[in-house]
Amino acid sequence: MTRTEHLERAAAWLSFNGIEAPRREVEELLAWILGVSRLTLLAHGEEPLTSAQGARFWEAVDRRAHREPLQYITGEVSFCGLRLAVTPGVFIPRPETELLVEAIVDQSDPQATLHFLDLGTGSGAIALALCHRLPRAVGVAVDVSREALAVAAQNAIQLDFAERLRLLFGDLRALEATALPLSSFDVIVSNPPYVPQEEYVRLAPEVARWEPRTALDGGVDGLWAYRAIARQAPLFLKPDGRVAVELGAGEAEPVQALFVQAGFTSGTLIADFAGIQRLYITRRP
């Protein structure tokens, strides 16, 4: 069969199995297997696949049909223009989190040294994007998953940012026990677990079955991580330092209230492209 015929049959199979945008996904899978861009793939749709290529393609399609995330199959994800490795058991960074990076960059002087602390770094996406966008940014990235830290280290080495990023194992609930320097950071940034438990059980299979629960489950009300950050951030921020966090839908007001009660300014809320209040940025007076 030609490439196009393989794609048509594979898209139909993924559609039958409930995958949204199946044609785009099978194109990405086949382009990855062939080592070409989607544009090149589609421009040569009449070419046949070898038996080895076909076998690899259909193995990948079958994995996707069983709701394994596309990023785990290909082993990579695009974030802020960077290609990052990602493996099963490590949270897959989302496009909306790029807004968090953009907001910090927009409020930072690119010529000044920015000391940042990334809480719950996962694959290192936010930390590495800040290093990429701000030439003098240096940071510490913390995660409770050693598997995630290993992937973040791999990404830091691959992108040549290892000397600007220190990776630490630590629990967000007890940052005081982590070897973090006090009163040292200009920015604390986090995309914390914020899915309320009652919503977690309704997540898509790609998320609930495959991604780490520790990166998603925000407790009964979805707010435990924000409470931990608001309580501990003053220990590690410089005076007038900032906290920038991603928010779940409907969490803007309660999160803002938590930080104000902890002595922070009322801060700024920023909406995503869907109009959801997605980011909260506040300062320590």
Give the domain CATH number at 45.
1.10.8
Report the percent of the chain where pLDDT is more than 90.
98
For residues 140 and 53, membership in a common domain is answered with no
Whether 45 and 2 have beta carbons less than 8 Å apart is answered as yes
What is the pLDDT confidence band of residue 217, given thresholds at 50, 70 and 90?
very high
Range of the domain at 272: 77-283
Q: How many domains does the chain have?
A: 2
Domain limit, last residue, from 22, 46, 66: 66
Residue 285 in this model has a pLDDT that exceeds 90: no
The yes-or-no verdict on residue 58 having pLDDT over 90 is yes
Task: Determine, yes or no, domain membership for 232.
Answer: yes
Distance from C-alpha of 88 to C-alpha of 207, rounded to nearest angstrom: 11
Q: Which two tokens stand for residue 88?
A: 């099963």
Say yes or no: 175 and 279 in one domain.
yes
**pLDDT digits over 142-197, tens only?**
999 999 999 999 999 999 999 999 999 999 999 988 989 999 999 999 999 999 99
- 242 within some domain: yes
Average per-residue pLDDT in the chain? 96
Identify the CA nearest to 67 among candidates 202, 205, 201: 205
Kindly state whether residues 182 and 237 are assigned to the same domain: yes
Q: Are strands 165-169 and 137-143 parallel, antiparallel or unpaired?
A: parallel
Instruction: Report d(CA 93, CA 86) in Å as an integer.
Output: 9
Geometric angle at alpha carbon 66, from 218 and 145, rounded to 5°: 35
The reply to whether 36 and 167 lie within a common domain is no
Residue 187 lies in a domain: yes
Q: Percentage of the chain with pLDDT > 70? A: 100
How much is the pTM? 0.94
pLDDT per residue as tens digits for the range 230-241: 999 999 999 999
Q: Are the C-beta atoms of residues 145 and 86 closer than 8 Å to each other?
A: no
